[in-house]
Amino acid sequence: MAQNETVKYDVAVIHEFAEELYRKSARREKQGVILGFLFGLVLAVSLVSAASLDTQLGRWPAVVISVVVVAVCTWFGMKLGLDAGLRLRLQAQLALCQAAIEQNTRQGR
């Protein structure tokens, strides 16, 4: 940046930033579900194979335990993703609120 170049306020930058935060929010929610599902799948397979549940309990109880583990991990991943998405949307709303405050106070001058 040159010495004589000044920085000017541009509300479009704030709007672009808020739009990007909303896009990240949607991605974060989907990522939470996918990662929770994958983690649950790995955990269920490891649990069943390490504890030999399919031979100790039979095949169907091991399948039920695996489905429950995957469902719980997917739900937990969804909750984490929704929370992360909410925080990003809140940041976007704060940026837009600050832009609106600046616009309203500028008009009052």
| Predicted pLDDT of residue 60 | 77
Amino acid at 101: I
Indicate whether 1 belongs to any domain.
no
Indicate whether 56 belongs to any domain.
yes
Q: Which residues contact 100 (CB under 8 A, 6 or more apart)?
A: none
Mean pLDDT of all residues in 1-29 = 87
Number of Cβ atoms within 10 Å of the Cβ of 13? 11
Indicate whether 97 belongs to any domain.
yes
d(CA 89, CA 25): 6
| Predicted pLDDT of residue 107 | 65
d(CA 22, CA 85): 8
Q: What percent of the chain has pLDDT over 70?
A: 89
Indicate whether 108 belongs to any domain.
no
Structural domain containing residue 93 = 11-101
d(CA 75, CA 32): 9
d(CA 17, CA 93): 10
Indicate whether 62 belongs to any domain.
yes
Indicate whether 85 belongs to any domain.
yes
- Look over the chain and give the mean of its residue pLDDT values, rounded to a whole number: 88
Indicate whether 47 belongs to any domain.
yes
Indicate whether 3 belongs to any domain.
no
Residue whose structure tokens are 């649990």: 47
- Check: pTM over 0.85? Answer yes or no: no
How many structural domains does the chain have? 1
pLDDT digits (tens, 9 = 90+) for 50-93: 777 667 667 777 788 889 999 999 999 999 999 999 999 999 99
